[in-house]
Each structure stands twice: as structure tokens, then as C-alpha cells.
Structure 1
Amino acid sequence: MFGRNNIGIMILGTIFLLLLASCTGGDSTTEPIVEALVPTNLNLDITIVGSDTNNPNGDGSGLIQCTATATNAVRYGFKIGNEAEQESTNGIFDYKFTSTGENSHVVSVFAYSSTGNMISAFKTITVYVSDETGLVWADEFDSDGAVLTSNWFSEEVPPENGSWYNGEQQHYTSRTDNAYVSNGTLKIVAKKENYTAYNSTKNYTSARLNSKFTFTYGRIEVRAKLPGGGGTWPAIWTLGSDITTVGWPSCGEIDIMEHVGNNVGEVSSAIHTPSSFGNTVNKGIIEIPDTTTEFHVYAVDWTADKMDFYVDDTLFYTYNPASKNSDTWPFNKDQFILLNIAMGGTLGGTINPNFTEDTMEIDYVRVYQ
């Protein structure tokens, strides 16, 4: 026989079981645990088109073909140097380099799983790109001394009552103090000094070189290291040869490279035409952090259809107006090249009071057609 105590214990036990059942009933749900899936066995194969025993770095086309495979990968991403990652679902990726000569490049691949996990690998390759379009004009700056007057004209006369446009603060000179060649490079030097010319005294001097060579269409490459002093405004650009008859901006302006010492590392390219000029909407920007400490190749491919702007092998801006007319495309006739450092002005900004001098160093200027 059970006593009262045993009956009480049974009742309490029953109540506990009912409460436990209510807390763990069928209405509750538990999220499934998804186990991370990590790709493995990543392999990257790169074929340089035309590579053989005699031409280990390719046939000059600059083409490479990449194939990546990995266990548990559902997609891949490829990067050339510091360019943006480009997606490939099948692990196949083709690329064309454009900088002429033999150059080393880092090719990276990223393999992603269905759960978003990633592994990566990279290879460094050397690719040869021939001068297949034809080198038609160049200055390699291999003769020490003054700038070659057969190639360049030093523009000195300020157009606005003793001053240059854009509120710039320099006088341009033809002195070797401001432009000279040594050890295989051209140096354009901006200096802080009082200098009087054309009934005007300025606190800074520099140089502005215009090429005597003019051309229509082609690829312009300039390998340069830029100044970084606050207030410097170096530029590599072109103007229409008919500027003296039609004026600016009707002549057209192609800014291949502009840089501001107050914002080191930001490189821009721009187009000025009657449709948009000055603070133009036609502009591209790229970040190159070591632009003042390392040489880079600044280039534009100018055709009858469009203009592509590059730093090294990175395409970062294309100008290709849908309607091409005299307002948007005055680029069907000759242009000449300009190299200069301006000081201050609308883009150069405030000049560092401690500025004394800074240099744009140019390894070469080349034009291909």
C-alpha cells in the first residue's frame, strides 16, 4: 500500500513532467547548423599566348589565358595587380596587357565555396608586349643638359597680363634651373623664388614644355614620378594644334595625368571640350599611393571612336560620347603634348609656406600609331 507521502510524490512528479512537456513541445523550432565549406586544392595555370623556347614571355600580343580549379569552389575571382577583382563562374579568365616591353605582373585568384568561404593563390609572370602599333615619336631623355629644342618648346609668355590662367602662382622659364636632363630622365623643377618677367613678379618658377611633334590618334605613354609638395599641380596633357585660331576649349584638351600635392596619390584624367570644360564632368580618378616615390606609366589610347586612360596596365576611365560632334569630339585633328608643374591655382590649392622646390621626373615620352 502506498502512503500519503508516496501519492504526493507521484502527483508532483506528474505535474513536473507535464510542465517539461509544455516547454519542449512540438511548436519550438531549432535553426539548422550550416557547416562552413572551405575550398581546397586550389590550382592556377597561366598560359602566355605565343610563349615558346625562343619567346618565353609571349608573342608580343600581351594576351594571357588563366584557368583555376579548386575542390568545393562554386565561383572564382581574378585580379591583375591592384585592379578590381573580376568574377568567373567557370575558373577561366583571359586578359590583355598593354604596356610595351617586358613587364612583371602579379595574377591572383580567389576560390569561393557555396558558404562564402575563400582561399587564394597568386603567380608572378613576365609578359612581353611588342610595339605592334609602331613607335612614331619619342624622347628618351638620354642626353644630359638642356632639354632638346628639336623636340620641345619652352612656353614662357603668360597670357593674362603677366599671369597664367586658373589663378596659378608661377612664372614659367626656359632656364635649366627649371628643366634639364640628367641620368636618363627629364627633371621639371618648381622653385620658390622671386622672379620678375613680363611686368609681373611671382614667388615661384617652373617650366612648361610643349612638344613640337603633333599627331592625330595613337597611344601616348609617359613614365614619370610626380612631385608631392603642397600646392604643386603637375600635368601631362595635350592641346589641339589649332588653339591659336579656334581658341580653348574648341581646340580640345586631353588631360592624361593631373595630380595635386595637397592630395598625394589621387591621379585624375579629364577631357575638356565646348560641351564640358573647366570643372568638367568628363573625368576619371584612380588612387596610386606611391605616385611620388615610384615611377608609373601614364597613358591614353586615342582612336577615332574613344579614349581609354591607363596607369600602368590599369584602365580606369573611358571617354566615349554617344554623339560625336564639334562640341563633344574636337579630337579628329592634331594635338601636341605638354609637360608642366603649376603652383597653386584652382586645382593646386594652398601652397605650403615651407615649400622650397619639388620635381616631376620623366623617364620617357612615347607616341605609337
Structure 2
Amino acid sequence: MELDLTWILLGLPAAFALGWIASRLDLRQMRIANRQAPRAYFKGLNYLLNEQQDKAIDAFIEAVQNDPDTSELHFALGNLFRRRGEYDRAVRVHEHLLSRADLSGADRQRAQHGLALDFLKAGLLDRAEEALRKLEGTAYEGQARLARLAIYERSREWPEAAQVARLLENSGEANFAIRMAHYQCEQAREAVQQGDTALAEKILTATLQTTPDAPRPRILLGQLQLTQGQAGQAFDTLSVLFERSDLAAPLAAASLAKAAQAAALTAPAMQLLETHYAKQPCIDVLEAITTLEAHTPEGTAASHQRYLVHLEKQASLMAATRWLTEESTEAHPLPAPVQKALEQAIRPLSRYRCAACGFEAKEHFWHCPGCQAWDSYPPRRVEEL
């Protein structure tokens, strides 16, 4: 069969026309998609600025569907899901990013960091720790180490926390010497709770040698020595705080007074306490002084006068209550309802308050149970702040 050139000549223009129409249709669809993607993106941004997170998420999902290769939209979605507490969806977004082979190195590190934050916010500390370890040697290394440090402190893994703190200190992030002293003190406290006082004393003694300016190990060591009947050693340990006028000395005032009484060192203890009180008047130091004076013949009258002198320096309901209690006698006792009312009134004033979050407690904390900050509790009662 002979090829008819007429059909070929007619078919070529037809094929060209159909190809041109198809290309125009594809170009039109591309233009429509490109217009829809930015429109959805800007719509989501507008919702986000107006704090309409639900509508922003819907708009960003629409934009991702139109352009699934856009990593920035995935990061925006992941952050929004995490802020809303939808941690499972945030994890899926960041894991999807990490599964992409075409993702750049910087974006891969960013996605890994986002995934670690997802686990951290969700309280999945083990998975968060694993994700944070993968950020070693990246631009997020410092942030990852700080996050790991917070995890170890929260879970009370003190050796691991000390190891990360040393890494941070060696990298020039900050000085973690006092923080690491706290970790040693926490380990010593756990040893005491387990009945291993010898290990606790060894830890505290070594900590004092490495960080002699840290007040907490000195206070804990002095209290431990006092409970073991080493009153003289406890006095020597605690007296250093008062000799150098340490701000934390009031926390050791009661223990110093007990050690002085047990070791017959009342006179040097009185001198230390009075010298410190003259520089920094404090109700805890004052009560330690009155405790020592109570064992002298003129002790009651002297302590009674001391509370009045303290009231002249600063108004104190705690000191006034102590003075009224001392003022009462068997012939003229302080009525029980009055005593009860005063004790109830001074109870909130005798607390300690975190300077970071305002959490109040009966006892002084070195590590705030509210905001997890270290050394945020001033060593003075609420009334004296």
C-alpha cells in the first residue's frame, strides 16, 4: 500500500495544533497551582498573625498539598502543631521531613531539632534524649546539650548531668562549677537516705576541695558531721561561712549554735554570730544568738532585749511575736487565742520564696521545685525580702 502524502501533510499541522493546546493546558494548570499555593500560604500567615491557629493550620495543609516539596511549610506546620499540644502530628511532620532524601543538611539538622523538641514537650524524655544526641557536632549542639542537661536534672540523673555540664563548660557556654557542686550535693543526700553516710561525707569533702566557695556542700557537711556526733568538726566547717560573711550563712546559723553547745564553744560561736548579725541583721541569726544565750544566767533578759533592738532596726512580725512570747510570764501568760493568731500570721512570712517564679516553701530549696531554677531562693525569709 502506497503511503498517501496528502494524509501526512494534513496530519502534521493537526499534531502540532494538539501539542500546542496540550502545552497551554499544562501551563495554565501550573499557573493556577502556583497562584493557589502562595494564596494558601499568605492566608495561613494572616490567620497566624491574628492568632487563629486552627484556620492557619488548615491553610498551611492546603498549601502543602499544592506543593508537597516545600520544606518551610512543613516546618511551619510542625511548630504550629507543637504549640497547640498536638505532639503526635508534629512528630509525623518532622519525621516525614527527615525521611526525604532531597533534604539539605541544614534543613535535616533543623528537622532533627524540631523532632527533639516535640518529644521533649510531650514528656517523652527517653526519645527526646536520643533525638538530642543526634545533634552533636551540628549547629544545634549547644541547645541540644542544654536540653539534655534539663532532662537529666528533671530525672535526677546527676552523673549524666555533670558530664553534660562539663561539655558545656569546655565549649565556653558558661561556668558550671557551682551547678556541678549541686549535683554532688544531691548525690550525697541520696547516699544519706540510703544509710551510706561515709560515702556522703566523702562526696561532700571532695566537693569542698574543688569548689570551696560553694556554700551548700559546706552546710550539708557540717550538718552531717553534727548528726554523727562530730560537733567540733561541724563547728569548724560551718564557721567559715560566718567568717567570710557568706550570704547563705543564715541557713547554717541554727546548726552552728547546736554544734557550739555540743562542743562547748559557745563564746566563739557568739562572737561569729554577733559579728555577722551586725553586718547583716537576720531573724535566723538572731534566733541562733538567743538560743546560745538561753543557757546563761542572764540569757532570758538579754534575748528579750535583743528582739526589741531588732524591731528598732526593721519592722518584723516574727520578732514581735518572739518578744511577746518572751514577755509573757506565769503570772501574766499570753492568752492562747492570741498566741495562735500570731503564729498563724507569721507562718506565711517565715517561708522562703523563689525569686524566679515566686514558689513559696517552708524550707529553703537550692533547686526550685516549681521552675527548676538553681540558687533562686534567697537565704532569707519572705518577711525580710
For Structure 1 versus Structure 2, the TM-score category normalised by the shorter chain is under 0.3
* Structure richer in helix, relative to its length: 2
Structure 2 length normalisation: TM-score?
A: 0.22
* Structure richer in strand, relative to its length: 1
Larger RCO, structures 1/2 (Cα 8 Å, 6+ apart) = 1
